[in-house]
Chains A and B, each alone.
Chain A
Amino acid sequence: MSTSPFFNQSYKPESRLYEEIIIEQIKAFGTDVYYLPRKLVREDKLFGEDILSEFNDAYIIEMYFENESIGAGEADALSKFGLELRSEAKFQISRLRFEQLISLDQNLISSTRPNEGDLIYFPSKTKLFEITFVEDEDFERLHNIPVFTLTCKLFEYSNEALDTGIAEIDLIEDTRSTNTIDLYDFLLEDGSGELFLENGFNMMQEEYSIDDIDKGSINEWLQGESDGIIDFTDSNPFGEI
């Protein structure tokens, strides 16, 4: 049996209607999230990575998340590195809405679709997800593919700069970054520069405490404990602050 002659699959208005219905569904049953495009700052061609990625923009957009719970995926676990959250999520985003709101961002590597490596901030759960895989609908209805499905995992934070202007997103960097430069530097009185030590490193303010920033670490506790029991007359091999 051939396809129905009463429906013209390449007829644009019908295709458009179908897409509008999808968008309406997402607006009705979805949730507002922030889409953060990744800005590559220093791409390493050898290792295929970027160690200084920044996220300077945040676009609020509606998405539908497929999981019954945002905490789907593997259970949170304790590893030899401490607590590791393993939440996963699947979001659906309208192709048209992506084109309208996000595709013009200069930092997108591919402007025609959401990019793997970009972030999605889910405000109601205060979770920051990284897009690990983007797929389009496998069924091409009316010559139109109206949504992308984004497979996401909770972001592994590695001191990426988050300067989006959205306070709750930027707070993640403020509370989790262990970067000392700018945040804990001793600045000159006129703000024109920093104070440097003889070894070339920046002088840091006393309040820099890795144990306070990273609740799972015991760097400074170990230093305090070892002072009384380790005879480091030769010096700590890796120096001191």
Chain B
Amino acid sequence: MLGADPYYHEILKRTVIGFGSMFNEIYLIRKDKVGDIKQKMKIPLSYGPKEKFLARLREDPNLSKSVAISLPRIGFELGSFSYEPTRKLNKINIVKIPKAGDTKGVSKQFSPVPYNVSFELFVMVKNSDDGIQIIEQILPTFSPSYTMTIKDSSELKNSQDVPIVLDSVSYEDSYEGDFATRRAIVYTLSFTASVQLYGPVTSQGIIKKVDTSMYADVPVNSPNRKQTYSVEPDPVTATENDDFGFTDSWSNWEDA
């Protein structure tokens, strides 16, 4: 029902990559008592969901990892999808471009469908000071949104501006409790990215026949056709470089 030809413009995957890449160069600095920078480190970033076997084999291949985890670090993950009707465009608008490698056809695509995609970003730190330093670098960028431009992989090479809105920031510090329980400081930032999802790209050849129907009493709800004017090349097999003429014809409709 949805169509025979599979298509995948990688819009969502590219949005995930784009979202993650915003946070891949956040640095943390630590100063000594006199204010000299003693440590400057890039915060490791990763996409949360992954295959368990790969995670273990990559991060602890020899079962010799000496420490529990290295902190601070940032994780992010894709959340839910919801239709956003206020951004919907006229559904019969069509974008067309010349078909690649074919001078006789065009590629076309209908208007995209707007969806909101939620993301969550998690920041885990060992020290409170590290946490607020990282958060303080992120928050001013979103007022409350930051817009990035993403290119999709379709033949039409659409670029779309994707506003990413910071919806909320929450914070958990499990410092209370017995001494055997580890303290964890985790910030959770919730975002919404407004993306446009495009449908399939279809092809259209050269138009070789045009029919024009003419009506009378247009204000009538269902006007009847009076005449049809048709034009087509002569011969119909002609290409754009051939010497060709046109055949036109009129048809009168007596059922009016």
Contact = CB atoms under 8 A, between A and B. Distances in A.
Given A226-B17, A236-B22, A80 B45 contact: no
B148 A230 contact: yes
A156 B182 contact: yes
B126 A229 contact: no
B66 A217 contact: no
B198 interface: no
Contacts of B59: 82-83, 215-216
Contact of B126 (A83, A86, A156): A156
Contacts of B71: 156-158
B140 to A, nearest CB: 9
A218 B67 contact: no
Given A81-B122, A216-B44, A232-B148, A178 B38 contact: no
A225 B141 CA distance: 22
Contact of B68 (A47, A80, A85): A85
Given A127-B66, A132-B180, A82 B23 contact: no
A107 B20 CA distance: 41
A240 B25 contact: yes
Interface in A200-215: 201-202, 210, 214-215
B52 interface: yes
A101 interface: no
Interface in B11-35: 14, 17-18, 20-27, 30-33
A197 to B, nearest CB: 12
B42 interface: yes
B216 to A, nearest CB: 53
Contacts of A232: 148-149
Interface stretch (A15-23, A29-37, A61-69, A147-155): A147-155
Nearest to B62: A126
B20 A222 contact: yes
B95 interface: no
Nearest to A84: B69
Contact of B17 (A79, A201, A222): A222
Contacts of A133: 178-180
B182 to A, nearest CB: 6
Nearest to B56: A83
B25 A51 contact: no
A237 B72 contact: no
B124 interface: yes
Contacts of A222: 17, 20-21, 24, 45
Given A222-B20, A230-B150, A231-B149, A179 B41 contact: yes
A32 to B, nearest CB: 17
B233 to A, nearest CB: 42
A47 B14 CA distance: 39
A83 to B, nearest CB: 4
B129 A44 contact: yes
Contacts of A84: 68-69
A7 interface: no
A211 to B, nearest CB: 8
Given A80-B122, A217-B46, A47 B127 contact: yes
Interface of A: 41-42, 44, 47, 49, 51-52, 76, 78-88, 116, 126-128, 132-133, 151, 153-159, 172, 176-181, 201-202, 210, 214-220, 222-223, 225-226, 228-233, 236-241
7 contacts: A81-B46, A133-B180, A172-B66, A179-B41, A181-B39, A230-B14, A232-B148
Given A126-B66, A133-B178, 9 more contacts: A82-B75, A158-B127, A179-B39, A216-B46, A216-B55, A219-B25, A222-B24, A230-B151, A238-B26
